[in-house]
Amino acid sequence: AVEKHHEHGWPPHLPSQCPIVQLKSERSSSLAHSKFEAILAPWTPSKAVEKHHEHGWPPHLPSQWVEFKLFEKPLALHLYLPPHSCHPPGVIKGLVMGEVLRIFQLCSHDSDIDDYLSEFFRRLLDRGYQAESLCPLFIKAVANAENYLSLSEVQRRKIKEAKAEANKRRVYLKIPYHPSDISRKDIQHLWYNLVANPDGKTPFNQLATNNLSPIGPGLAKMPVDQLIIAYRRAPNLGNLLSYRKIDDRGLKVSSFID
């Protein structure tokens, strides 16, 4: 990663987050040290530090490796988290899983990881989420992040390809969220019993299609294994008070050119 960015004039300007560049396990390796020193050789340390300090990105430069942590803009855009009442159920899981993985990936020190996780947890509490529901999510997210970072690039690529293939075999039911509507569990129950795997009938993903396929006409199966309930939020006061209709029926730009 260091060599790749060095070829393009690394380090880049990264206003909201910084990459991990660390040699924790290779600190005793003379080969790793010499390789890293060769990369840093063209730099003038004082100029490099001054340059990135101007951009709000002061790196900590120890003797033989570079370590980073998150950088949060003074505008406090990192504080924008959806309140508990703003989104339908299910949003918080992806938010926690993604942010925890981001913290693990972008921090070099365990102490920084602990600090940012605690701060993230506190900010969610301030926005109306309950500790009883957040704790299991954080435990699962930390285990997921540690497991993901322990994988090799080949293993990560295989997981990504498997997820991409699974995404192709899903259908989405997009509906507005309302707490009084039928629950996701009930919808999934109806889908499974009436469509995906009805009693005494062929499962949905085993039905033959009439589309032509490489294996022959009528031999392809329905490429659907899963139903995803995709909620969209209901209209709120922002939609009412901030409503605007842009009139685009004016003259074309070309009409003003002689």
Q: Is 14 helix (H, G, I), strand (E, B) or coil?
A: coil
pLDDT at 220: 66
Tell me whether residue 257 is in a domain: no
Euclidean distance between CA atoms 119 and 159, whole angstroms: 30
Number of domains observed in the structure of the chain = 3
Euclidean distance between CA atoms 128 and 141, whole angstroms: 20
Tell me whether residue 252 is in a domain: no
Amino acid in the structure at residue 72: E
Euclidean distance between CA atoms 50 and 84, whole angstroms: 42
Residue 207 has which token pair?
């039905």
Tell me whether residue 109 is in a domain: yes
Spatial neighbors of 83 by CB under 8 A, at least 6 apart, are 127, 128
Highest mean pLDDT among 21-35, 104-118, 209-223: 104-118
Residue 221 has which token pair?
């199966």
The structure's pTM equals 0.58
Does residue 230 carry a pLDDT above 70?
A: yes
Claim to verify: residue 103 and residue 144 sit in the same structural domain: yes
Give the residue carrying structure tokens 């009938």: 201
* First-to-final CA distance of the chain: 53
212 is in which domain, residue-wise?
A: 168-236
Average pLDDT over residues 1-26: 38
Tell me whether residue 10 is in a domain: yes
Does residue 80 carry a pLDDT above 80?
A: no
CA triplet 91, 94, 98: central angle to 5 degrees?
A: 145
